[in-house]
Structure 1
Amino acid sequence: MSGEAADRETRGRETDGRETEGRTTHGPGTGAAGGPERAGGGSGSEFDRDTAVTLREPGVYDAGLSAGWTILGAVNGGYALAVLGRALGAALPYTDPFSVSAYYLTPSLPGPAVVRTETIRTGRTLSTGQASLLQYAEDGTEVERIRVLATYGDLGALPEEARTAAKPPAIPPRELCLGAADHPAPPDSSAWAIADRLDIRLDPATAGWAVGAPSGKGEMRAWFGLADGRDADPLSLLLTVDALPPTSFDLGLSGWTPTIELTAHIRRRPAPGPLRVAISTRNLAGGFLEEDAEVWDSADRLVAQSRQLARAPRG
């Protein structure tokens, strides 16, 4: 692992000197009272508590993966990615993820985890790092769950100008969309613990799968938020891009759709309020499908994009 993390707090940063959320100014590895330095977890949000990491030694963070974010017993990939994102935001000079590419090697499970980070390069406006999330097998050996390569910067320093042909998804008003109480439970709903932590209101046009009538188009559209009302930020967008029901449901398939690789681009800091998410797949072949996601904020701005490759369920 790189030794840069050890002296990052004491050397000058190539920023405007502003303090950033989730970072302390005490020496590496210590908080205000000399205890372990902890990133995240300071708010009342369950998401912040469950993505918090604690600095063990330079570049190494301890974490605990919560059972509250699981699907069929495995930790949701977007939630696990946010844990990695939290650690990289603490290790790098900048806290905002710009581009994050993750390879999912083995299923992540609830329980203790370790995130090992390495700074690859730091420039005037962007820093690149890599991180691995590891857990322990029964014999005590480390098992790598996810490996990430990411570039971080300051989204607040970007110009406001946007030239784009992209448009927000056409979703009915939130009150006309379907929440958890408005339709039958999804397949294997008792094992979808993550559903209790999300406020998802599905576009009725993409919710037919819930009553046995999938459209076959491979689309999901929804209003999205966290159930405890926490507003979105760049870190939580890493969860958002992987939080809706998989498009395979709309293709008439049910069951776990494990992610193989996911790349997320965070474009802006989202405005307060609910998000709109649109996910689609155009090709299921050889037992794999791709999913393209767009996330729009309450100010009609595209704040995140992603593409992932996933294994299609056998249902």
Structure 2
Amino acid sequence: MQTETPPPAELDRDLALTPLDGPDEAVRRFSGHLPGGWSVGGGINGGFLLAMIGSAVRDTVPDRPHPVAVAATYVGASTEGPAEVTTRVVRRGTLTTVAAELAQDGAPRITALATFSDLAGLTDEVGTTAVAPVLPPPEECVRTSDAPPDFLRTAPLVERFEMRLTPRSVGWAVGQPSGTGLLEGWFRLPDREPDPLMLLLACDAMPPVTFDLGRPGWAPTVQLTTHVRAVPAPGWLRLRQSTSNVAGGFFEEDCEIWDSAGRLVAQSRQLARVPR
């Protein structure tokens, strides 16, 4: 008896790219479409864009399928519509480095340098002093999809995934931000288990940490670097996001991602503009 192949998850459909040349070209080009459903504040979410670049790099070097380090500079805002990703292999090896650029209308939007490998083949030795955040269970946390309609209209991406913020992380929603610069919560996609590529999205999925400082609004990303440390176990991801320095119109945002097995699977640092 034949079994039907399940349809691809929404994220995989939205990240799908079409090669514009042969696989042996020194420089590869891919076409894709940026869906408006992944937008926030009028621009496409930076984590989704990072995942699209990761998808192009993975297609360029399929023998090294997992991101290890991706450093991206956001040159301009991306909007719903056609996009093109260009990749160029800088070095091949156990760690393969690829330069990539995402453009729209012939103008660059993101330029990135990505190092990919096969995380399943790397040593599994773990020695860390990092401590996973202790969170209330997801059912005791606040769903971002229950945000006020005005917020959902400006951030439709929150309806693409399940996010549950801890009660102490949502004071900003009722005009009582904690002022500590810390957000914590749970994250998952309803139709897809986490993998290294999805971690590139998750590192920029939470509201800007400046919300907890009483500064709501869109915080455009200037630079985002993500380190993927392991293939995540199935289930919910735990996210912790913090800042310690808001100055000169910019702030840094550090994110840790822990999987259901209690392992730190990704870390990122972002420089962004303070919301106007």
Q: TM-score w.r.t. structure 1 length?
A: 0.82
Matched, 1:119 2:89: yes
CA contact (8 A) 1:62 1:114 kept: yes
Per the TM alignment, residue 186 of structure 1 is displaced from its structure 2 partner at its CA by 8.0
**Rg bigger for which structure?**
1
User: Gaps spanning 5+ residues in structure 2: where?
Assistant: 1-5
Structure 1 pair 209–158 and aligned structure 2 pair: CA distance change class (3 A): same
Q: What letter matches 1:212 in structure 2? A: G
**Counterpart amino acid of residue 178 in structure 1:** V
Q: In structure 2, what is the equivalent of residue 96 of structure 1? A: 66
Q: Give the drift of 1:181.
A: 5.8
Secondary structure of the residue aligned to 2:173 is helix
Query: For residue 80 of structure 1, what is the amino acid of its counterpart?
Result: L
User: Which residue matches 2:142?
Assistant: 178
Alpha-carbon offset, residue 229 of structure 1? 2.9
- 1:269 equivalent in structure 2: 231
Percent identity (aligned): 48
In the alignment, the residues of structure 2 paired with residue 248 and residue 239 of structure 1 have an alpha-carbon distance, to the nearest angstrom, of: 19
- Cross-structure match for 1:292: 254
The residue type paired with residue 111 of structure 1 is G
Give the C-alpha shift of residue 91 in structure 1.
0.5
Map 1:202-213 onto structure 2 (within 5 A). 202-213=165-176
Could you tell me whether the CA contact under 8 Å between 1:117 and 1:130 is conserved in 2? yes
- Uncovered stretches (5+) of structure 1, i.e. residues with no partner: 1-41, 137-141
Give, in angstroms, the shift of residue 310 of structure 1: 0.3
* Larger RCO: 1 or 2 (CA < 8 Å, sep 6+): 2
- Residue aligned with 1:209, SS: helix
CA gap of 1:303–1:186, structure 2 versus 1, over 3 A, is farther
Whether the 8 Å CA contact 1:61–1:115 is kept in 2: the answer is yes
Q: Deviations over 1:221-275 (max 9, x none)?
A: 010011x331110001000000001101000011110100000000101000000
CA displacement 1:194-213 (0-9 Å, x = unmatched): 01101000011111001110
Which residue in the other structure is 2:186 paired with?
A: 223
Counterpart in 1 of 2:3? none
- Asked if residue 109 in structure 1 is aligned to residue 79 in structure 2, the reply is yes
- Secondary structure at the counterpart of residue 134 of structure 1: strand
| CA positional deviation for 1:44 | 2.3
Report the counterpart of residue 84 of structure 1 in structure 2: 53
Q: Does the 8 Å contact 1:187/1:254 carry over to 2?
A: no
Which residue of structure 1 lines up, in the alignment, with residue 35 of structure 2?
A: 66
Secondary structure of 1:188's partner?
helix
Paired residues in the alignment total 265
Q: Structure 1: which amino acid aligns with 2:113? A: L
Kindly indicate whether the alpha-carbon contact (under 8 Å) linking 2:180 and 2:212 is maintained by their aligned counterparts in 1.
Answer: yes
Tell me what 1:7 maps to: none
Misfit runs of 4+, over 2 Å? 184-189
- What SS does the aligned partner of 1:81 have? helix
Alignment-mate amino acid for residue 238 of structure 2:
R
Q: Choose from 162, 177, 180 the match for 1:214.
A: 177
In 1, are the aligned partners of 2:240 and 2:256 still within 8 Å (CA)? Answer: yes
Q: Which residue of 1 aligns with 2:119?
A: 155
C-alpha displacement of 1:185: 2.2
How many angstroms apart in 1 are the aligned matches of 2:220 and 2:75? 10
Q: Which residue of 1 aligns with 2:109?
A: 145
Partner of 2:241: 279
Partner of 1:14: none
